[in-house]
Amino acid sequence: MAESYYIDGQGYVRSVISIHDTAKNLRTSPDNIYTLIKLGLLRTLKLSKTQTVPLTEIQRFVDENLGKDLQEVIADEQQHRKMQAKVVSMKEG
């Protein structure tokens, strides 16, 4: 299993990383990470205004989804969100 912490460039021990760094780590976009979070496939920790992802959670996500193609699941959810936003916009307009 991967380490549950890493030492960043400034010498600090980190056990959680930002959404942006999670996206870089998984080689995808932050929008896809937010979609995975909304779907409940990736869990976060929020101690202040910022959501973070524990390194152990990234490892769990990878282990549980290894070999799966989540592209369609992500695209469907993002399309659903766009449709909801359009409906809200029409109601307000």
User: Per residue in 58-80, pLDDT tens?
Assistant: 999 999 999 999 999 999 999 99
Q: Computed over its alpha carbons, how large is the radius of gyration of the chain?
A: 16
Q: What is the pLDDT of residue 5?
A: 78
Tell me how crowded residue 77 is: count the other CB atoms within 10 A of its CB.
18
The three state secondary structure string of the chain is CCCCCEECCCCCEECEEEHHHHHHHHCCCHHHHHHHHHCCCCCCEECCCCEEEEHHHHHHHHHHHCCCCCHHHHHHHHHHHHHHHHHHHHHHC
Q: What is the pLDDT of residue 2?
A: 62
Q: What is the pLDDT of residue 47?
A: 86
Q: Where are the domains of the chain?
A: 6-68
Flag residues of the chain having pLDDT under 70.
1-2, 93
Mean pLDDT (the chain) is: 90
